[in-house]
Structure 1
């Protein structure tokens, strides 16, 4: 069985997708249409920023998010043209929207408008805050949670830190107010963390500080008709498929302010029988997470046209 996993924020690069744009008409059409949709929400030329940068602008969350999702949708359409579709799919944070596109729950125009608004709302929720995100290496999740709880208790809710991403065994991202992240980091070092690496991000993503963005997104989702998924989607805030009493709208609202359980999602895929996974997105960060999480799974990564051609060739073989 095949799993497709979509990359998240942080892996963007200037020039992403330009080779696809120049070689595949359907990819070009995807980016051109996405550029028109995004221009109604925010003040950028999506194609120009993706291909030419500058990186400083491309790395702003309100711009990164639509750029990454447009890339993912374009590559997904090319895979579908080759008859390649997922049995199971998921994405890291904003990648979940691309997974929902792959599964047929949302059309591309709706997704591009939603993700442009998501990026805008998350940027607005971060304005005026002194915040940080940091990757904690070589520490189990129980200890990370304990250090975050200890910090939050001492700061009495005035500043907060939360475990934002469970990427793979030994790599957990914490997020929140800068003071709280620094304090929790000190406790984690005392507890034996190998390294703590600050991340270049512009907001306290996947924490309670994103609630204003979640509230705005909830209003947007109330106007959206989510279709039944054709592929099995594993949701970020669950680490599994949704139940009958759980809605996509509620889970996407929760996702923006809750932990991302990527490690759990990859394990869920493996236990369901997935033996091959394609990562779609710039870089190969998720492929590394997968290899550290499960054994005996073949992993492909699609960042460039060469990656795409080679992946299709190998899957057919």
Structure 2
């Protein structure tokens, strides 16, 4: 496949873990410098160390929204900076949920500092509302589609996202989630409770985001027209104008990842490069590409297996072989 076009994919809450990007932080000066810039911003606003939280903390749990929110954005921005330094630039950008913050940096909707600060303010607004710890999210894995797709409604839950056939995310309050999980166990349906203590992508956080919307309305750092082809995970299409409350909607409204991939695939074959920390984006894309006639591929760099430097070399070799290295 010659001259393959590239899509950068960034994802949000649930993809985080301590140590994400550690090999790059140790061995790649571009990545380290970007993380250090984010560290300065986070120290200013939270009086906490991003670097210590990522690479020195002993606690394996990593679900404190005040630090995980900006941490995910910071790591994805740093990964983008590394790729840019290698001359690897996207033809399209696809952000998913909080991943749209980093995608916005790639598309030059705002700069890295603005994206990090906005993620912190959003987390603070959500914390102030008191919703943290009262709800969460679960990923349901029902590839044989044995379950009624609307069964969660009986448990006062919400469909947060459609990821791929037989895989979707449910959001809601803790007691309701527990009851639904017990139901899933009885039905022998697999599920994963995500490391998220907020019912994102549901009406339950609408009030939590009112102050954040006010912040965005006077923010003044959002460029309403992206400089690059920006595929909105929220709208499932290319967006050329960004509304003032867009970055509130991306974490509160239902998202359909499958529909976004379908939209991109309608434009041809692509190499989807996951700039997220865990490979979630490439996994979701890969499942959406199954059983379709295409030559698209996926590639992830960061993962808990800490093979980032090897993966970067592999990616460069793939792009050179396809005459698609530097744009």
Q: TM-score, normalised by structure 2?
A: 0.84
1:1-317 equivalent positions in 2, closer than 5 A:
1-56=5-60, 58-127=62-131, 130-138=134-142, 143-144=148-149, 146-152=150-156, 161-185=157-181, 194-222=189-217, 223-227=219-223, 228-242=225-239, 247-295=242-290, 296-303=295-302, 304-317=308-321
How far apart are the structure 1 equivalents of 2:166 and 2:62? 29
TM-superposition CA deviations, 1:149-177 (whole Å, max 9, x none): 4444xxxxxxxx21112111111111111
The answer on whether the counterparts of 1:147 and 1:188 sit within 8 Å (CA) in structure 2 is no
How far apart are the structure 2 equivalents of 1:121 and 1:54? 27
Please state how far the C-alpha of 1:282 moved relative to its aligned partner: 2.2
Please state how far the C-alpha of 1:143 moved relative to its aligned partner: 3.8
TM-superposition CA deviations, 1:170-229 (whole Å, max 9, x none): 111111112333445566678x67323322321111111211332122122122332221
SS of the aligned residue for 1:311 comes to helix
How far apart are the structure 1 equivalents of 2:50 and 2:222? 25
Please state how far the C-alpha of 1:55 moved relative to its aligned partner: 4.2
Please state how far the C-alpha of 1:142 moved relative to its aligned partner: 10
- Closer, same or farther in 2 for the Cα pair 1:23/1:143, shift >3 Å? same
- Closer, same or farther in 2 for the Cα pair 1:28/1:290, shift >3 Å? same
How far apart are the structure 2 equivalents of 1:179 and 1:125? 19
Q: TM-score, normalised by structure 1?
A: 0.86
Name the Cα RMSD after superposition.
Answer: 2.5
The answer on whether the counterparts of 2:7 and 2:92 sit within 8 Å (CA) in structure 1 is yes
How far apart are the structure 2 equivalents of 1:90 and 1:237? 10
Please state how far the C-alpha of 1:67 moved relative to its aligned partner: 1.2
The answer on whether the counterparts of 1:126 and 1:202 sit within 8 Å (CA) in structure 2 is no
- Closer, same or farther in 2 for the Cα pair 1:77/1:69, shift >3 Å? same
The answer on whether the counterparts of 2:132 and 2:198 sit within 8 Å (CA) in structure 1 is no
For structure 1, list consecutive stretches of 5 or more residues without a partner in the other structure: 153-160
**Which has a greater percent of helix?**
1
| Greater Cα shift, 106-115 or 286-295 | 286-295
For structure 2, list consecutive stretches of 5 or more residues without a partner in the other structure: 303-307, 322-327
| Greater Cα shift, 49-58 or 110-119 | 49-58
SS of the aligned residue for 1:41 comes to helix
SS of the aligned residue for 1:256 comes to helix
- Closer, same or farther in 2 for the Cα pair 1:248/1:2, shift >3 Å? farther
SS of the aligned residue for 1:115 comes to helix
